[in-house]
Amino acid sequence: MLILTRRRGERIRIGEHIEVVVTQMRRGLVRLGISAPPGVPIFREEIYQAIVRENQRAARPARERLPELERALDKP
Protein backbone atom coordinates (compact mmCIF):
# COMPACT_ATOMS: atom_id res chain seq x y z
CA MET A 1 0.00 0.00 0.00
CA LEU A 2 1.27 3.46 -0.88
CA ILE A 3 1.45 5.72 2.18
CA LEU A 4 1.76 9.49 1.78
CA THR A 5 2.04 12.31 4.32
CA ARG A 6 -0.13 15.37 3.71
CA ARG A 7 -0.82 18.63 5.57
CA ARG A 8 -4.20 20.28 5.89
CA GLY A 9 -5.31 21.68 2.54
CA GLU A 10 -2.93 19.46 0.58
CA ARG A 11 -4.26 17.12 -2.06
CA ILE A 12 -3.74 13.70 -3.57
CA ARG A 13 -4.66 12.94 -7.13
CA ILE A 14 -5.55 9.41 -8.19
CA GLY A 15 -5.45 9.08 -11.95
CA GLU A 16 -6.85 11.86 -14.03
CA HIS A 17 -10.23 12.34 -12.41
CA ILE A 18 -10.05 11.60 -8.68
CA GLU A 19 -8.87 14.10 -6.11
CA VAL A 20 -8.66 13.79 -2.33
CA VAL A 21 -8.07 16.79 -0.07
CA VAL A 22 -7.39 16.87 3.68
CA THR A 23 -9.78 19.53 4.95
CA GLN A 24 -9.46 19.20 8.72
CA MET A 25 -7.51 17.30 11.38
CA ARG A 26 -8.68 17.38 14.96
CA ARG A 27 -8.53 15.05 17.94
CA GLY A 28 -7.55 11.99 15.97
CA LEU A 29 -10.14 12.62 13.23
CA VAL A 30 -9.23 13.45 9.65
CA ARG A 31 -11.81 15.08 7.38
CA LEU A 32 -11.36 14.36 3.69
CA GLY A 33 -12.95 15.88 0.63
CA ILE A 34 -13.18 13.56 -2.36
CA SER A 35 -13.97 14.51 -5.95
CA ALA A 36 -14.66 11.68 -8.37
CA PRO A 37 -16.56 11.33 -11.64
CA PRO A 38 -20.19 10.16 -11.58
CA GLY A 39 -20.32 6.39 -11.40
CA VAL A 40 -17.36 6.04 -9.06
CA PRO A 41 -18.94 4.94 -5.79
CA ILE A 42 -17.37 6.26 -2.59
CA PHE A 43 -18.06 4.49 0.70
CA ARG A 44 -16.92 4.50 4.27
CA GLU A 45 -15.33 1.05 4.38
CA GLU A 46 -17.23 -0.22 7.43
CA ILE A 47 -20.57 0.85 5.93
CA TYR A 48 -19.74 -0.85 2.65
CA GLN A 49 -18.89 -4.06 4.53
CA ALA A 50 -22.14 -3.82 6.53
CA ILE A 51 -24.09 -3.61 3.26
CA VAL A 52 -22.20 -6.59 1.81
CA ARG A 53 -23.08 -8.61 4.93
CA GLU A 54 -26.70 -7.48 4.80
CA ASN A 55 -27.10 -8.41 1.13
CA GLN A 56 -25.59 -11.84 1.78
CA ARG A 57 -27.90 -12.34 4.75
CA ALA A 58 -30.92 -11.18 2.75
CA ALA A 59 -30.13 -13.65 -0.04
CA ARG A 60 -30.83 -16.51 2.41
CA PRO A 61 -34.29 -15.71 3.80
CA ALA A 62 -35.85 -18.10 6.30
CA ARG A 63 -38.61 -19.01 3.85
CA GLU A 64 -40.65 -20.88 6.44
CA ARG A 65 -41.30 -17.52 8.14
CA LEU A 66 -42.63 -15.88 4.97
CA PRO A 67 -46.34 -16.83 5.25
CA GLU A 68 -46.55 -15.57 8.82
CA LEU A 69 -44.67 -12.38 7.95
CA GLU A 70 -46.86 -11.70 4.94
CA ARG A 71 -50.03 -12.17 6.99
CA ALA A 72 -48.69 -9.49 9.34
CA LEU A 73 -47.63 -7.10 6.57
CA ASP A 74 -50.12 -7.45 3.77
CA LYS A 75 -53.26 -5.51 3.32
CA PRO A 76 -56.37 -7.67 3.14
Determine if 31 is a binding residue for other proteins (CB under 8 A).
no
d(CA 58, CA 25): 38
Determine if 45 is a binding residue for other proteins (CB under 8 A).
no
Phi, psi of 72 (to 5 degrees): -75, -35
Determine if 33 is a binding residue for other proteins (CB under 8 A).
no
Report helix, strand and coil shares of the chain as percent, to nearest 5.
35, 25, 40
Interface stretch with other proteins, choices 1-9, 12-20, 26-34, 63-71 (CB under 8 A):
63-71
Interface stretch with other proteins, choices 3-11, 16-24, 25-33, 35-43 (CB under 8 A):
35-43
Asked if residues 74 and 68 have their Cβ atoms less than 8 Å apart, the reply is: no
Determine if 34 is a binding residue for other proteins (CB under 8 A).
no
